[in-house]
Amino acid sequence: MIVAIDGPSGAGKSTLGKMLAKRLGLLYLDTGAMYRAAALSVKQMNVDPDDKDKASRIVGEAKIELTGEPDSMRVFLNGEDVAAEIRTLDMAQAASIVSANSGVRRVMVDQQRRIGESAPNGCVLEGRDIGSVVFPNADIKFFLTAKPEARAQRRFEEDRAKGRISTYERTLSEINERDQRDVSRPDSPLTIAENAVVIDTSELDLTEVFEQMLDKIRESRNEAP
């Protein structure tokens, strides 16, 4: 079974994707982490993320691997554990630039399809183009969204808990800038895929969203609640 979860940053995709993967016994694939590792591979070569030709060549040769359980996932770039390094603000911005590059997207989408198709029980994939491009025939597609202010507040609190220093205003402006780039790029912009179940998580707590998602999955499998 393939579960696709798309939406802007801070809507709860990662947390809910991990919860679903655990509950359903599926592999969990954070495709944003792959784009972040791709951006890091470009940065490590001192290449400008905007340089499309060089960036796609570097990413094409990079070895990006995600291993481990959803809660303790490790991300390897050319054999080096980069799970912490890719979570910086700088890397989020670089990933957003690199992910607008069609050459890079082609490499990532191929890998994501291969990983999803070879997962023995199926896979939960979360990102921006899973239901629209990577797995348009997914068994179920979700689009999680929330007001920018709610997403910025969550991100800000997460960052603070991790000891990262920022302000709510700065987080909000970064989220708006990234959203703008993700929805306006010509190749695979963030969009609501056909047949996607849209959930606005602004006013809901995690458990409520989780239950709604499980219900939809049961419905799609024709199971009783």
Return residues touching ligand DC (CB under 6 A). Answer: 9, 31-32, 35-36, 92, 95-96, 99, 127-129, 178, 182
Of 133 and 217, CB closest to ligand DC: 133
Least CB distance to ligand DC at residue 223 (A): 28
Least CB distance to ligand DC at residue 36 (A): 5
Least CB distance to ligand DC at residue 22 (A): 19
Least CB distance to ligand DC at residue 225 (A): 30
Of 26 and 128, CB closest to ligand DC: 128
Can you tell me the distance from the alpha carbon of 158 to that of 180, in angstroms, rounded to the nearest whole number? Answer: 22
Of 15 and 31, CB closest to ligand DC: 31
Q: Which residues of 57-93 are buried (b: 16+ CB within 10 A; e: fewer)?
A: bbbeebebebeeebeebebebeeeebbebbbeeebbb
Strands 140-145 and 197-200, bridge-based pairing? parallel
- The 8 Å CB, 24+ separation contacts for 208-211 are 209/12, 209/16, 209/144, 210/16, 210/19, 210/20
Of 114 and 218, CB closest to ligand DC: 114
